[in-house]
A and B are shown apart, each in its own frame.
Chain A
Amino acid sequence: MRKIFNLFWSKPSYGNQSIFDTNHSFEKGYFLISLFYFFVLYLCFQSFTFNSQLPSWSEIINSQAYFMPQWGSGWLTILEWPSAVRFVYIFFLITALLGVVFWSRSRIIRALVALGLFQYLSLISSFGYADHFLTMMSFAAIMFVLLPNKKTKTYKPDFLKVIFGLQAIILTTYSISGIYKMIGLAKQLKRGVSSALSSNGMTLHSSKTSYFSGNEYFLQNYLIDYPGYWIPTLQVGGIFIELLSIFFLFKIGLHRIWGLILIIFHLAIAMSVGPDFSFHTLMIALFILFSPFGSDRYDLMNDVKLLTKKKASN
């Protein structure tokens, strides 16, 4: 096990140098985590408004009868309901504000931010089904509790290792999801029923989501009116994007290009099948599209050029 871990941490390199040894990566990583804590505050801001995908605070206060607690929100039943809900919101707000100011100074503050965000996610997920659009953000907050103390000798490399660890989780998550979809495809082909290879596969997903959400999606009518091989091509393309994600973890120079591909993937899903992972997309943008590793300047075309040059020289 130890050998596997050591191999994992010794492998990531860019231009014959360990990615954990570069100053510009640290500077960028530091800025990205500052932005992350701002996005947590922004999410908290959204939770008080009425125009986001988050349930409004007033709906939650009026929904005590529908409360089906998750493991993280069971304690709310011991308080008077409106006070308990307001407490979760205020705690989230205070910790998010503290996070923006003090994240780099105190592990306790980062732990409180993670707790505030987790409590909020637990609350909004306690009405029948769990919400998935904030899971990656919550886990990133938990992961950042591990950021090292500034006084330690290995502060900068350790700092970057936490970011790389989060990248590993994000990209592996996609790959595992892709594996399940491949297994699902194989099972449905074997049974001889509609599958991801059918001309109506994605249309079935889209209409099912619509049935549950009551919403209509941008490309839904096209999926229904123009069935054809373009639909399974898109769907299988999406599955391969998910499946291949893990391979790009160690392809440091391709992080940004792959980040853009994943964002386009989520955009295509939102337009056709419906699930809105916009908060998740922010995490992809921060830590994959704007990956602190690789070239010291952000230029996607330059990344493509470097890639083609490298291939030519090989």
Chain B
Amino acid sequence: MDGLNYSGTKVQFAVSMMIVLYFVLAFYPKYFGGGQEIIPFSLYNLYSMVPGDYNKMDLLVKDDCGVEKYLFYKNKDLNSIERKYYLRKLNDIRNIYNSRKHIDLDVDSEILRDIEGEVYLVKMTGDYIKTLDEGTFDTEIITRIK
């Protein structure tokens, strides 16, 4: 290749800086940004710990015929966007409830607007394997929402 002298070119400098920038932006949210990742730089701690017992919030919906269904758990009617959205909202609700021991949900909020029937906020606790294998977990009704 014509014996080219490639040391110290602008591209080499730019690539070096990009590598540094990549890792700065990837680490920043973990230590300074409250854990909210800056896309497209993902966090590295996914799956770093084996999960223990879980403690989740969900909405238990009873329709007019008395059929019970959860908003998130085993709800095959949700598309991928709805699953992500409800998961996020339910995690936010759990975090608020855990810190204040009280929660007020607006019945006109996005999460409740389209749900018909009686709606209860429930706390689900259990072991992921038993929940998957046997469908067993403990529930505690926190409050009736509507």
Q: Interface on A for B, CB 8 Å cutoff?
A: 5-6, 8-10, 20-23, 26, 55-56, 59-60, 63, 65-66, 68, 70-72, 118, 121-122, 125, 127-130, 132, 134-135, 138-139, 142-143, 146-148, 152-154, 156-158, 161-162, 164-165, 168-169, 172-173, 176-177, 179-181, 183-184, 187-188, 193-196, 198, 200-201, 203-205, 207-208, 210-214, 220, 224, 273, 275
**A156: B residues at CB distance < 8 A:** 1, 4
Check if B54 is an interface residue, CB within 8 A of chain A.
yes
**B16 CB within 8 Å of chain A:** yes
Interface hit among B43-51, B60-68, B93-101, B115-123: B43-51
Contact A130:B39 (CB < 8 A) given known A23-B1, A59-B80, A214-B83: yes
Q: In the complex the two chains form, is A180's CB within 8 Å of B48's CB?
A: yes
**B:34-93 near A, CB below 8 Å:** 37-42, 44-52, 54, 73-76, 78-89
CB neighbours (8 Å) of B5 from chain A are: 154
Cβ–Cβ < 8 Å partners of A220 in chain B: 132
B6 lies within 8 A of A127 (CB): no
* Tally of contacts, chain A with chain B, CB under 8 A: 186
Out of A8, A132, A161, name the residue touching B42 (CB < 8 Å).
A132
Residues of A contacting B83 in the complex (Cβ-Cβ under 8 angstroms): 212-214
B85 touches A127 (CB 8 A): yes
Q: Given known contacts A55-B80, A173-B44, A224-B132, is B50 in contact with A205 (CB within 8 Å)?
A: yes
Which A residues are CB-close (under 8 A) to B113?
A: 65
A228 to chain B, nearest CB (A): 15
Among A72, A143, A169, A180, point to the contact of B45 (Cβ < 8 A): A180
Q: A66 and B128: CB pair below 8 A?
A: no
Contact of B50 with A194 in the complex, beta carbons under 8 Å: yes
* A146 x B14 contact (CB < 8 A): yes
Given contacts A158-B11, A204-B129, 5 further A-B contacts (CB under 8 A): A135-B39, A154-B5, A157-B1, A161-B6, A224-B129
A158-B50 contact given A55-B79, A63-B81, A71-B38, CB 8 Å threshold: no
In Å, the complex CA distance between A134 and B42 comes to 10
CB distance from A182 to the nearest CB of B (A): 9
Nearest CB of chain A from residue B79's CB, rounded to whole Å = 5
CB nearest to B130 among chain A residues: A207
Q: How far, in Å, is A199 (CB) from chain B's closest CB?
A: 11
| A214–B51 CB distance below 8 A | no
* A187 (CB) vs chain B CBs: closest residue: B49
Task: List, in ascending order, chain A residues with CB within 8 A of B73's CB.
Answer: 211
Q: Which of B40, B48, B75 contacts A138 (CB 8 A)?
A: B40
> Are B4 and A59 in contact, with the CB atoms below 8 A?
no
Q: Which residues of B contact A157 (CB under 8 A)?
A: 1, 4, 6, 9
**Given A139-B40, A158-B6, A213-B83, also A273-B132 (CB < 8 A):** no
CB distance A129 to B84 under 8 Å? yes
Flag if A200 contacts B19 (CB, 8 Å).
Answer: no
Name the residue of chain A whose CB is nearest to the CB of B114: A65
Complex partner residue of A128 from B46, B76, B84, CB under 8 angstroms? B84
Q: A141: shortest Cβ distance to chain B, in Å?
A: 9
Is B12's CB under 8 angstroms from A161's CB? yes
Q: Across chains A and B, which 6 residue pairs bring their CB atoms closest together, nearest first? A: A128-B88, A184-B48, A157-B6, A165-B15, A158-B11, A66-B85
Q: Is the CB of B16 within 8 A of A5?
A: yes
Cβ-defined contact, A118 with B87, below 8 A: no
Known contacts A63-B82, A66-B82, A132-B46; A210/B132 CB under 8 A: yes
Residue A22 contacts which of B1, B128, B131 (CB distance < 8 angstroms)?
B1
Whose C-beta in chain A lies nearest to the C-beta of B47? A205
Q: Determine how close the nearest CB of chain A comes to the CB of B106; give it in whole angstroms.
A: 14
